[in-house]
């Protein structure tokens, strides 16, 4: 008797994220597969712009850093912005879930 897909495939929520299981084995989701297979040219431009904006906004403190500190600080700019946005998005989703359950937020 053939198995139904719901029994073979499932999503497992873990903390703030999730993973997928297929026939009892962890597997990548669609977003991960597409991200690994296709370039994201818009992200390259976004990352460059994020660094350029940081230089323009904070140029006075940049001269006080060593070369190594400056490289680390600038290279980390896109990741810091991404993480701040992700945290904001997570909070928006949390509040939306509360509203959906009829709670005041």
Look at the pTM and tell me if it is higher than 0.95: no
Task: Divide the 105 residues of the chain into consecutive groups of 10 and give the mean pLDDT of each group.
Answer: 63 86 87 81 91 95 95 96 92 91 89
Residues 28 and 56 in one domain: no
Q: Is the dihedral of CA 49, 32, 17, 101 positive or negative?
A: positive
pLDDT number for residue 6: 55
Residues 51 and 24 in one domain: no
Residues 8 and 46 in one domain: no
Residues 30 and 44 in one domain: no
pLDDT number for residue 1: 55
Q: Whole domain around residue 52: which residue ranges?
A: 39-105
Number of structural domains, the chain? 2
Residues 4 and 21 in one domain: yes
Residues 23 and 43 in one domain: no
Is 61 exposed, middle or buried, given 0-12, 13-18 or 19+ CB atoms closer than 10 A?
exposed
Distance between start and end Cα atoms, the chain: 49
Residues 47 and 60 in one domain: yes
Residues 34 and 45 in one domain: no
pLDDT number for residue 41: 84
Residues 83 and 45 in one domain: yes
Residues 27 and 55 in one domain: no
């Amino acid at each position: 008797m053939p198995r139904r897909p719901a029994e073979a495939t499932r999503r497992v929520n873990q903390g703030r994220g999730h993973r997928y299981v297929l026939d009892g084995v962890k597997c990548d989701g669609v977003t991960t597969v597409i991200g690994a297979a296709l370039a994201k040219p818009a992200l390259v431009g976004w990352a460059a712009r994020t660094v350029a904006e940081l230089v323009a906004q904070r140029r006075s403190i940049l001269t006080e850093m060593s070369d190594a500190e400056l490289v680390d600080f600038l290279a980390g700019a896109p990741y810091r912005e991404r993480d701040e946005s992700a945290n904001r998005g997570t909070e928006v989703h949390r509040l939306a879930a509360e509203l959906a359950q009829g709670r005041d937020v």
